[in-house]
Structure 1
């Protein structure tokens, strides 16, 4: 698994940055900052950072920018905006009075389906090979299923508390009935969001296949997201005061989002996707649950429940199965490339003799 070490470490760091971004952004948005204005500021700043740095990083291996590359990055921006719109406005569309415990559980559980959707789309678009006779294909498919199952266990099953946290449990919230039309509508919207998130990874893989300069792709993505969010803001945000970056927490969160959210997190995830494919990257969605649980227990005083432990264990087992399958794929590609080179070497040796 030597060739997967850097992508593995990179995705862990990207998930940590993502968890930090979620915590900080939710705080400033809860205090009244517009989500679309936040996205505009952070992606605009990220574009300014990436404009010189991305072209400098790829100064020696920069392919010519084609119209199809620009269009691909534009659609990446649209998919990212649509995905963000669904997640951020779902509580307004579906749960009219409040976003309670059951809806949050539903959203987290449904988003765990992203690896499954991504695996199916990757197979359909021939970005991943699927053959029941091939041990690596079996390992990747079963590992994906196991990780999704572990994510559902960690999300839906609490069990007794193993470590008691400092924050009081909110036991007064009651789950919504499965017959509630809002619950069903919410599930449909979240399923659509999962498809959009998976489609984003597939389109990104195709763009990188034609234009293998990861950070330039990230620059164009942030650039188009900034433009698209600016257009949306001009339509939906008529209050001039909404553009203010005061208090200081807003400015600091925007800086964090631009540097660690867009430049670092998206850049590293894009590089990992180019190196390993979309299935490997999306497998860190369930792993992100483990990171969130650890941060919640260590830094936020949350309780640690048996369901989190069991779910995390199952996720790790499934994730290791996918890692093993990817390592087998890399080993097989390496052997095939050596096999193609060997006859040439033999012919050269014969000519020298």
Structure 2
């Protein structure tokens, strides 16, 4: 679906911005519906580290969507999916180093199972399709 949207919508950066905007709208609706009866909820905006973190997260999400769209268009979804488990590994390492989170054995085993499972699916996908089909798909997306 995303590859079709990228072909039909040529402004990739604004597509990433629209995706993030609608994620913001959905998140706001969810927060309002869940927290509407909570009298302790603080809905005011303060100029502090939390606002900076939210702004940084929004910018980072937009950049990530843009990069995902470009990689998906240039190399295809199989190539993009092959590097997806790196995010899990990076989050596990940075969470333990930067945020001083405890790394439990169950989390480590779960991350390993997810990464191995995804690579097995990708390996099976490459065995399923002949290599000539990958060449034809990459040539057709460049036009």
Structure 1 length-normalised TM: 0.28
What's the offset of the Cα at 1:255? 1.5
Alignment partner for residue 226 of structure 1, among 15, 24, 40?
24
Instruction: State how far apart, in whole Å, the 1-side matches of 2:51 and 2:13 are.
Output: 24
Q: For residue 49 of structure 2, what is the aligned residue in structure 1?
A: 249
What's the offset of the Cα at 1:291? 1.8
Alignment partner for residue 136 of structure 2, among 333, 343, 348?
333
Equivalent positions of 1:262-341 (< 5 A) are 263-299=62-98, 300=100, 302=102, 308=108, 311=112, 315=116, 318=119, 325=126, 328=131, 332-333=135-136
Gaps of 5+ in 2: none
Instruction: State how far apart, in whole Å, the 2-side matches of 1:258 and 1:278 are.
Output: 24
Q: Please provide the CA RMSD for this pair.
A: 4.3
Instruction: State how far apart, in whole Å, the 2-side matches of 1:335 and 1:221 are.
Output: 25
Q: Tell me: CA distance 1:331–1:243, structure 2 relative to 1, closer, same or farther (3 Å).
A: same
The structure 1 segments of at least 4 consecutive aligned residues displaced by more than 6 Å after TM superposition are 334-337
Structure 2 length-normalised TM: 0.58
Gaps of 5+ in 1: 1-202, 338-353
Q: Which has the larger Rg?
A: 1
Q: Aligned pairs, how many? A: 127
Instruction: State how far apart, in whole Å, the 2-side matches of 1:229 and 1:304 are.
Output: 30
Alignment partner for residue 215 of structure 1, among 13, 35, 56?
13
Instruction: State how far apart, in whole Å, the 1-side matches of 2:41 and 2:74 are.
Output: 44
Per-residue CA deviations over 1:47-84 (Å, capped at 9, x if unaligned) read: xxxxxxxxxxxxxxxxxxxxxxxxxxxxxxxxxxxxxx
Query: Which structure is richer in relative contact order (CA contacts within 8 A, separation 6 or more)?
Result: 1
